[in-house]
Structure 1
Amino acid sequence: MSEPTPNSEIPHNRGRIDTRAVHAGQVSDERNGALMTPVYFNSTYEQDSPGVPRQGYEYSRTTNPTRTALELNLASLESAEWGLCFASGLAAIASLLHRCKAGDRVVAGNDLYGGTHRLFTRCYGQFGIEFEFVDSTDLAAVEAALAKGNVRYLHLESPTNPLLRLADIEACAKLAHAAGALCVVDNTFATPYLQRPLELGADLVVHSLTKYLGGHSDVVGGAILGRDPKVRGEIAYYQNAVGAQFGPMDAFLVMRGTKTLAVRMERHCSNALAVARHLEASDLVDRVIYPGLTSHPQHELAGRQMSGFGGMVSFELSGGVDAGVAFCNATEVFTLAESLGGVESLIEVPPIMTHAAIPAQERRAAGLQDGLVRLSVGIEHVDDLLDDIDRGLAAAAKTLAKASVRS
């Protein structure tokens, strides 16, 4: 991918993405030269006269200087004109749905984070908003769903969670626009360091800041990035009205995280590729899913629209869920926990953890088998990670042997 064109109105928005991750949106304090953006712990602001706020700040539910600095930083990384930060990734997506009314439709990928699926179907479906889930790798299926009309959003994850499928963002965005819809891409797994959907034609980018952008498993947050000022105004109105704001300390933590995004993602990618290859070489593993492997059905697309393949690896073991649970229970470097994108390696079984909210029949129909294991590969030494994989495989082998004896 080519380098994004910087928005010169964003402070320090020049240079390559590695440099902007450190500097964009942040200026030293004019009074004392403090290099880091302060954490503004305040709820309200002195006004110059009634109804005339100083520098546009009135109340921290609406906006806060620390949050503004992060929003400018993220906008620079995603080649956006603006950013809005929220209490969580789901709060960000919910603010998008506030723009919908009864009878509007949302077309989304059928391999979707369980929390997003729950938000769509159980929270907003009751208000007359219709959701249709399709295979986002199948452009004909996407086009057919959009052709039914009245679509407000085409909502994509790429790579998806947890099956790491890729949507052809450029092609999907063109289909969405032809149908009068906005193309929204959840870019959490790839991060702007590896993929910038707005440059490929998408209208809005969504992030869970909790994951790679924060990067240290110590903050929960979300963001929406875009270019259309009218859409920004509508989303910001709902954000303020419902109180889905992002706190200043959390904003500071994410800004600290983005400064090391480039070096962390390089290590995540190299470790994940090594882990994926190691798993693929084992006879105990039925399938390894990682866009960086030539066995991935969309490996070519990944190389075309991403500059790296990410830190997430999913795989299926012979022996199904029992073997998967045994594998997870045996690891020592990989911690059994939900979430992803931190410096530490995590492991989980999606059907009984992060994706348990999706009915089993729907999960299986989308290709999410009961024994799937998902890895968030961290930045530890690769040899320690591979040793831990072998520890898990040995435990899975014992489970398989016991099952064979019983049968």
Structure 2
Amino acid sequence: MKASADAWATVGKDVQEVAVPVPPGKLTASVGVGACALDAAVHAWDIAVATGRPSPLTPELARRLMPVAAAIVEPLRAYGAYAPALGAEDGDDVAARARSSVANGRSAVPGPESSPEGSTKNMGVASHVYGVHIWYAAYTWRGVKMVDPERSAELLWGTRSGRGLSLERIVRAAIELADAEGLAAVSMRRVAERLGFTTMSLYRHVPGKAELVDLMRDEVMGGEPATDADRRPGWRAELEAWARDGLALYRRHPWLAEPSGTRRVPGPNAMAGFERALGAAARAGLPPAEMVAVVTLVGGFVESAARQVLETARAERRTGVSEEEWWGARDSLFQHLDRYPTLSRVYREGGYDTPLDPFEFGLQRVLDGVEALVRDETRDETRCVVCGKSVEAAATGRPRDYCSRACRQRAYRTRKS
């Protein structure tokens, strides 16, 4: 409390809003100071009721804290962070003196029936810590994630520090945890334990898990791609290399393939990867909309194939039985194949003896489709014989050879020389 008081004491009286390290990112000075006081008052009441001691929450203090409680609590009640507010019972002195706490309506663990105060069984002893971290609870309560995309963008693209507990250290520790145990194992508490800090110290750097996962994704996407020496020239070879690099990334960090929604703020590394793929599609001569569609198509294939590869690997690790061994033991199933003539013929003729690599086969077929699109786009298109740009078809007369008068003059000078 002293640290909070000292911090808010530095805020001038004319300051309208103050940046805070937790959602929503800004608070008015009066609400911020009031939240600190409310935190202490509610916990004092909790302890007093739980231990049977007199409550230090006076009616005057409760009246002063009521506006702060309403300003903070009511917007979050719709998301399930708080139960409905409880009303005072006739003659219930404790409830009357604790109206601020009642207004919070916090989801609570019911108090014992034998409590010395009759209102305790109605109000309960609150199980949730108030203060700054109640905002995080509202962001993650019952699976509802109210991610602030502007805050994610600030974290992804902002300047970072390397001293002490930094955002970089937090992100690296979270990546190590996800690589070892999966994304579900990543929590602010687990990451803090891994670093040897308190959970609340992490909230000074990142608002919560949703934003932390955004940072983790972008960080792992910053690895070096395959060297230029390993690549062949041409748009197809470039897209092929980009796709293979993507699969390798999923293999190194399997949690990337876990569903996380489509509305994610991209960071600089993700944008650089997208730029790389768009550049390859641009060199194929496709129009902008088809460039985006091609990159989305190839990227979607890589993600889908990675999920299949990773799920197979997880099943093998979990059971100790390979995919081939598992299917090889399905004799009871194979006895029924005679009902399906085409499948039976494929099986008899060795269709499953040497299966093709699903990723390589699928990738080549996807790129075959893109190549057919490129041919269709350029089949009837005339190119400038000087610069290679598209030449607009003439309405009448012979086809044009040049895209502009400048190219025509350049060709003329070349012939004369």
The reply to whether TM is greater than 0.5 is no
1 or 2, which has the higher strand percentage?
1
Task: State the TM bucket, normalised to the shorter chain.
Answer: under 0.3
Tell me the TM-score normalized by structure 2.
0.22
Ranked by relative contact order (alpha carbons within 8 Å, sequence separation 6 or more), the top structure is 1
Q: Determine which structure has more spread, i.e. the larger CA radius of gyration.
A: 2
Tell me the TM-score normalized by structure 1.
0.23
